[in-house]
Amino acid sequence: MSEAPSQTLRGRIIAVLIGVLVVAVLALAAEGAVRLRSLLKHGHATLRTENLYIEDPATGLRVPVAGTRTGKIKINSQGFRGPEIERVKPVNTSRIAFLGGSTTFSAEVSGNQATWPHLVTNSLIREYPDRQFDYINGGVPGYTVQHSLRNLEGRVAAFAPDIIVIYHSSNDLSWHSRDAATRQGIALKHGDDQVSWLGQYSLFWYLVEKNLRILARQSSAEDLSGKLVVDAEALSGPFREDLSTLVRAAKRHANHVVLVTFSIRLRRNQTVDEQKDAAMTFLYYMPYMSLYGLITAFEAYNQVISEVAQAEGVVLISGENVIPGDSTHFVDSVHFTDEGSRVMAERVYSGLIAAGIFDALPSGTAGHR
């Protein structure tokens, strides 16, 4: 009589163990799948990127490790994403330096040849076959305008660029808006909004947490209550000051400085559901922002870009909405697909041609130095 309950208990224990084993196997399979996807898509399969970046002792900046090859991303021996480039500029070469953050670095596209800085330079080579061009992709994920200023002075200027193209907005807005939201008591300080302990080690769990947060924040994105009250002029003030400083520094190092207005997937003419999808990245990193606040803030930042270009007498490339705000052109809220990168490159290339920058360069001559 006593053996039946014992057998039942053993059966339940075995069933539980089998269930735990199945869950563990599925979790490991999921972890392996997302890491493989990350490796193929981003060039790394971990949340930790210490092997991809290093602190530059001269500038204190986080910079790509020189000579790194990770999947589709290749860093040259000088520490920039792109082909090899000589520190001493060859004779009869016009050199372009692109400054920005992750949207210039372009980790999301299929390879170095699909980044918009590379495509812009290739278009110029085809347009002017009797001239020589090379470029520096000075974009680094996470960089703000202040970071690019240090990057210019400490790393890029030594390569004597003739043209400096600046593409910034989203990282600066993230920093400045969080400062404003913290003052209003509706956001944590920088660095306080961390993922869970498990999310720090499991890419799969990190993505689960991230997507759950995005869904929760999308559901309340229309609601203005509890969100940052956007004073466009006050919010864009620090960006204006920082961008003006960067432009003045760039003018000391290059004959031509170009400001490009910032393209985002979020648009005023979209439906609310389309706006929520388009704002997914923004809502994750800036949960205190409403859809209206985001649109208003980015419009203010683009207005600042236009006004700084006029005040400093540098080239402005506008037309940010030429790139359609859809999943064909954007991976998320700001980063380009290959097709988005192609359209972005065409926008910048056409702007450079229209500005007449190369008309002043006689055929076969060098640029700034």
Residue type, 212: L
Token pair of 31 as six digits: 């972890």
Bridge partners, residue 277, by sequence: none
Closest CA to 167 of 257, 78, 101: 101
| CATH number for the domain formed by residue range(s) 53-360 | 3.40.50.1110
What pLDDT does residue 322 have?
98
Query: With the C-alpha atoms ordered 349, 350, 354, 359, is the resulting torsion angle positive or negative?
Result: positive
Is the pLDDT reported for residue 89 higher than 80?
yes
Model confidence at 4: pLDDT above 80 = no
- Distance, in Å, from the CA atom of 112 to the CA atom of 87, rounded to the nearest integer, reads 20
pLDDT band at 90 (very low <50, low <70, confident <90, very high): very high
What percent of the chain lies above the pLDDT cut of 90? Answer: 64
51 token code pair: 């092997």
Q: Against a cut of 0.75, is the pTM above it?
A: yes
C-alpha closest to that of 368 among 100, 159, 201, 206: 159
Average pLDDT score, the chain: 85
- Domain locations in the chain as residue ranges: 1-42, 53-360
Q: Using the structure block, give the residue that is written with the tokens 């992709």.
A: 137
Instruction: Say how many C-beta atoms besides its own lie within 10 A of residue 81's C-beta.
Output: 24
Mean pLDDT, residues 184-207: 55
Q: Residue 305 and residue 317: Cα distance in Å, rounded?
A: 10
> If we measure between CA atoms, which residue out of 190, 140, 135 comes closest to residue 168?
140
